[in-house]
Structure 1
Amino acid sequence: MVTLGNNTESPDKPYLTDAGEKSRTLRSFPPYGTMNKNSSGDTCPTCQGTGRIPRGHADQLVAVIPCNDIRLRPRRTKLYVFVSMVVCLLLSCLILFFLFPRSVTLTPVSVLSVMVFFTPDTVEMEVTNLINISNENFVPVQIVEFNMQGLVSQSVVGKIKISNMTAIQSRSQNSYTVKINLPITDKGLNTYCKSAAIHIHTLFLELQITMNISYLSHTEQLSLDTFEYIDCGTNSTIPHPVT
């Protein structure tokens, strides 16, 4: 049945009734759930075999799960979430504990020997020192560069630079023997060291040590100033500790 509407803009346009519009809408959708035995359809999986659906439209089906289905209510959900959070927190703490940067300590231990050579104008000395380097980290530490300079009476008398020192393994300590040449050209100190009337020719040697290290993808510089006494008048091969 067709009726005319009272639209003022287009009075001659017909309007369908509710039944006609519903019929036209249903024709645009495939006839799901038909009860006939048409061989062109498949058995409807949601109708227990009583209905038929067109071939090729199986991916358009919508499955309805009841609200009381046990699959919608997994058991021990809170327990699983809590255990997962605890495991993640524990792993994070372990990573921070093992990878957190710790100290690398540079310590002079003793003067092993002092070899003295007299020349007409200078006093040549070769001082051998024992140095300990300890690594408190859980990763190896690479020594990039080691520098040492010796000062007598606030004047630099010798320098040394080492670039091939071995790495320090994790949680370990290595001892290194470092030799530095100290030529003294000061006339007053030369006279003092060469004087036969003085039995012990004590000089206070200041050592300024800097060391560049690399670990955990970053570099760091350590520095240390230490004082030690040496005898510039004679050879000394008896080690004595640095105070």
Structure 2
Amino acid sequence: MGIPWTSSKTTEAPHCPAAMEKVKTLKFFPPYGSVNKTPTGDTCPTCRGTGRIPRGQEDQLVAVIPCNDVRLKPRRTKLYVFISIAFCLLLCCLILFFVFPRSVTINPVSVLSVMVYFNPQRVDMEVTNLINVTNENFVPVQILDFTVQGLVYGTVAGTKKISNLTSIQSRSQKSVTIRRFIIVCFFVCFSNYCRSSSKIHLVFLTLQMTMNISYLSHTEQVTVDTYEYIDCGKNSTTPHPVR
């Protein structure tokens, strides 16, 4: 009987597509701990060399990023830092510009009227003045009180205090009328001067104005001194500006 002839060549099994995909995946993802794709490390223990992590474990695993990853070297870092610093400086300058305290001024405008009352031993004068209060701030200013003191020849002859005044809006001006400001003069020579038959009875009156204001959570005092002339001989003083 003849021995059946058998070929010495073995038939190779066809390549499995799944195996080829796994080989490609392993070639694409370097071994665990390797940054230059050289097989010097172990297989990733989390993805088991497949390049994928098990579903449902995303919040339990830690990703390893190579040192040469571009995400670790952001571009234009200096530009972004410079833009941020410039923006912060601009914002601070704007805040300082609008919040920085500015002046609040008192400007005497005119004498509106003077009423003269002759008493046996003195002369009383009721003066009405008009003043302007200017607010240069970008915030409203609240007037706490306003005090006017009149001096005749260096002696205090009358004082008036006004409270509960309304506020002045930002970058605006408000007119305040001081009514019934009484000036009392006890000097004998002054009384004789006002009662004389002369046509000129001018008296120079010194006004010291003090205003307490409040804005931006702090109080401030504004003072101004001015001079005006009034006619103490009769009720003939016409409105005239204060110089």
Rounded to whole Å, the distance in 1 between the matches of 2:91 and 2:51 is 53
CA displacement at 1:51 relative to structure 2: 10
The equivalent residue for 1:25 is none
The equivalent residue for 1:79 is 79
The equivalent residue for 1:190 is 191
Q: Conserved in 1, the CA contact under 8 Å of 2:231 and 2:237?
A: no
Rounded to whole Å, the distance in 2 between the matches of 1:140 and 1:234 is 42
CA displacement at 1:76 relative to structure 2: 2.5
The equivalent residue for 1:48 is 50
Q: Conserved in 1, the CA contact under 8 Å of 2:132 and 2:173?
A: yes
Rounded to whole Å, the distance in 2 between the matches of 1:237 and 1:146 is 25
Secondary structure of the structure 1 residue equivalent to 2:210:
strand
The count of aligned residue pairs is 199
CA displacement at 1:45 relative to structure 2: 2.7
The equivalent residue for 1:217 is 217
The equivalent residue for 2:65 is 65
Rounded to whole Å, the distance in 1 between the matches of 2:141 and 2:51 is 73
Rounded to whole Å, the distance in 2 between the matches of 1:222 and 1:50 is 76
Scaled by the length of structure 1, what TM-score is found?
0.75
Q: Conserved in 1, the CA contact under 8 Å of 2:204 and 2:230?
A: yes
Q: Conserved in 2, the CA contact under 8 Å of 1:46 and 1:63?
A: no
Rounded to whole Å, the distance in 2 between the matches of 1:51 and 1:200 is 108
CA displacement at 1:148 relative to structure 2: 0.7
Deviation per residue, 1:1-48 (Å, 9 max, x gap):
xxxxxxxxxxxxxxxxxxxxxxxxxxxxxxxx99xxxxxxxx823632
Rounded to whole Å, the distance in 1 between the matches of 2:145 and 2:176 is 14
CA displacement at 1:155 relative to structure 2: 1.2
How has the CA–CA distance of structure 1 residues 51 and 236 changed in structure 2, closer, same or farther, with 3 Å as cutoff? closer
CA displacement at 1:242 relative to structure 2: 1.1
The equivalent residue for 2:171 is 171
How has the CA–CA distance of structure 1 residues 125 and 65 changed in structure 2, closer, same or farther, with 3 Å as cutoff? same
Rounded to whole Å, the distance in 1 between the matches of 2:51 and 2:165 is 82
Amino acid at match of 1:147: T
The equivalent residue for 2:115 is 115
How has the CA–CA distance of structure 1 residues 67 and 233 changed in structure 2, closer, same or farther, with 3 Å as cutoff? same
Rounded to whole Å, the distance in 2 between the matches of 1:235 and 1:115 is 5
Amino acid at match of 1:232: C
Rounded to whole Å, the distance in 1 between the matches of 2:226 and 2:176 is 16
The equivalent residue for 1:15 is none
| Structure 1 unaligned regions, length at least 5 | 1-32, 35-42
Q: Conserved in 1, the CA contact under 8 Å of 2:209 and 2:223?
A: yes
CA displacement at 1:109 relative to structure 2: 1.1
The equivalent residue for 1:146 is 146
The equivalent residue for 1:162 is 162
Rounded to whole Å, the distance in 1 between the matches of 2:208 and 2:110 is 15
Secondary structure of the structure 2 residue equivalent to 1:95:
helix
CA displacement at 1:63 relative to structure 2: 2.8
Aligned: 1:242 with 2:217: no
CA displacement at 1:237 relative to structure 2: 5.1
CA displacement at 1:79 relative to structure 2: 2.1
Scaled by the length of structure 2, what TM-score is found?
0.75
The equivalent residue for 1:129 is 129
Rounded to whole Å, the distance in 2 between the matches of 1:50 and 1:206 is 93
CA displacement at 1:93 relative to structure 2: 0.5
